[in-house]
């Protein structure tokens, strides 16, 4: 039985955790998997419950944090090498940047036969300045040379990695979209909608506009809040904005609400109705999706937008920026895709959906079958299994 050491950046809520959990669970018993990764960051919610629900027991490396810390990174690197020597994996598969750097270096030095890395997103724009970005590109190019294969999670991402940023040659980069258990987003919708709207005091005549994700600059929540202000000024409809997630810039966002004249509340501290409700993290996002009428995403940069895949599974209308892998993840008849930087366009498209119930209904029904066919975990597992077996055969032939 081939052994896989699967390394994730950190155990926080998001696409990588679901991806790692589903692969580890459903590739068994053909493959034996050990999962390791860093702990969640302050302001993030833990994803360990996802693994525990599937009967998995990951190993947490507290030293492996998101930020660069030479002392902690060296400790994490030594721990990974020790785990590799003890576990003796046939494959090391890393997920996201920090895990990819430390894990691939350790696997290469320990002469692991097959080394695979998945880019869940990348930091080659909208994160750092030119010099720092160039530095990270150089590191990734060197790591790519140590990799047996690199997985991009969309065709758009592969194009960026190979043609725009020249991280690796196209023949080394395989496109395997993420895969999720999506059935829960189509189950008990009425009960979930009622429960969510009762909890957050959303009346039946109020349209709930939801955005889901960590509160970080790259997610561009400021655009969302400015769009809410614009819509509120230009419609007679009653609207509520629900911000699901938390992070370092929450206070900046509440200050922006004040500047824009939007009343707001942070629900864990004060439970009251407001135009903008910051809920912090919600473990089961099928509830806010069921309770919503429109789902937004405003990011500067995305790999595969999990919240939009889940929104389509829940049959919700979408307004999003067209960045990263979004155009490969959203059915064209399920959403308005707005070019990055076009704030006016985003405002106008959101207003159209608020005003037009028929357009919301049309969008709501278009994406469901698309995401179930494209992003189901069964397809993810089959694609990854085929890649592993092919790489193992190639290694045996060398």
Q: In sequence order, which residues have a C-beta less than 8 Å from that of residue 78 and are 6 or more positions away? A: none
Domain check: are 26 and 143 in the same one? yes
Note down the domain range covering 267. 183-374
Total structural domains within the chain: 2
Domain check: are 344 and 389 in the same one? no
Domain check: are 22 and 115 in the same one? yes
398 residues of the chain, pLDDT tens digit each: 999 999 999 998 777 898 999 999 999 999 999 999 999 887 788 899 999 999 999 999 999 987 788 999 999 999 999 999 999 999 999 998 899 999 999 999 999 999 999 998 665 654 566 777 788 889 999 999 999 999 998 888 899 999 988 999 999 999 999 898 899 999 999 999 999 999 999 999 999 999 999 999 999 999 999 999 999 999 999 999 999 999 999 999 999 999 999 999 999 999 999 999 999 999 899 999 999 999 999 999 887 788 999 999 999 999 999 998 898 899 999 999 999 999 999 999 999 999 999 999 999 989 998 999 899 999 999 999 999 999 999 988 76
Residues 24, 380 contacting (CB under 8 angstroms): no
Domain check: are 144 and 69 in the same one? yes
CATH classification at residue 386: 3.40.50.2000
Domain check: are 365 and 380 in the same one? no
Q: pTM of the prediction? A: 0.78
| Alpha-carbon span 189 to 191, nearest angstrom | 6
| Alpha-carbon span 261 to 234, nearest angstrom | 14
Domain check: are 56 and 109 in the same one? yes
- Looking at residue 133, what is its pLDDT? 76
Domain check: are 94 and 243 in the same one? no
Domain check: are 202 and 159 in the same one? no
- Looking at residue 122, what is its pLDDT? 60
Domain check: are 9 and 153 in the same one? yes
Read off the DSSP letter of residue 377.
H
Domain check: are 147 and 15 in the same one? yes
- Looking at residue 124, what is its pLDDT? 64
As given in the structure block, the two tokens for residue 204 are 């039946």
Domain check: are 200 and 170 in the same one? no
Quickly list DSSP for 143-205. HHHT-SEEEESSHHHHHIIIIIS--S-GGGEEE----B--GGGGSSHHHHHHHHHHHTT--TT
Domain check: are 130 and 193 in the same one? no
């Amino acid at each position: 039985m081939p052994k896989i050491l699967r390394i994730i950046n950190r155990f926080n809520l998001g696409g990588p955790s679901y991806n790692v959990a589903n692969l580890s669970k459903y590739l068994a018993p053909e493959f034996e998997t050990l999962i390791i990764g860093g702990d969640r960051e302050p302001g993030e919610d833990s994803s360990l419950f996802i693994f525990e629900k599937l009967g998995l027991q990951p190993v947490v490396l507290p030293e492996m944090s998101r930020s660069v810390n030479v002392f902690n990174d060296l400790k994490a690197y030594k721990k990974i090498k020790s785990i590799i020597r003890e576990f003796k994996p046939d494959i090391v598969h890393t997920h996201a940047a920090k895990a990819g750097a430390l894990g691939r270096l350790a696997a290469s030095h320990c002469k692991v036969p097959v080394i695979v890395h998945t880019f869940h997103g990348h930091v080659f724009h909208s994160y750092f300045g030119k010099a720092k970005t160039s530095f990270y590109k150089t590191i990734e190019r060197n790591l790519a040379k140590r990799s047996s294969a690199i997985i991009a999670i969309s065709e758009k991402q592969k194009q960026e990695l190979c043609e725009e940023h020249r991280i690796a040659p196209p023949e080394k980069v395989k496109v395997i979209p993420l895969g999720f258990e999506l059935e829960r987003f189509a189950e008990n919708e009425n009960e979930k909608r009622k429960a969510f709207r009762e909890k957050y005091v959303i009346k039946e005549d109020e349209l709930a506009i939801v955005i889901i994700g960590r509160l970080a600059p790259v997610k561009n929540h400021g655009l969302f809040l400015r769009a809410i202000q614009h819509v509120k000024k230009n419609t007679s409809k009653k609207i509520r904005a629900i911000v699901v997630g938390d992070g370092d810039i929450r206070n900046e966002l509440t200050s922006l609400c004040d500047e824009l004249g939007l009343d707001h509340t942070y629900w864990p501290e004060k439970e009251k109705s407001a135009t903008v409700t910051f809920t912090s993290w919600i473990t089961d996002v099928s509830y806010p999706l069921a309770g919503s009428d429109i789902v937004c995403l405003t990011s500067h940069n995305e790999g595969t937008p999990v919240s939009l895949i889940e929104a389509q599974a829940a049959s919700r209308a979408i307004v999003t920026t067209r960045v990263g892998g979004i155009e490969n993840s959203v059915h064209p008849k399920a959403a308005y895709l707005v070019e990055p930087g076009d704030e006016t366009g985003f405002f106008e498209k959101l207003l159209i959906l608020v005003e037009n119930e028929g357009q919301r209904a049309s969008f709501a029904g278009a994406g469901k079958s698309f995401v179930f066919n494209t992003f189901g975990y069964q397809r993810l597992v089959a694609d990854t299994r085929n890649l592993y077996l092919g790489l193992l055969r190639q290694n045996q032939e060398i």
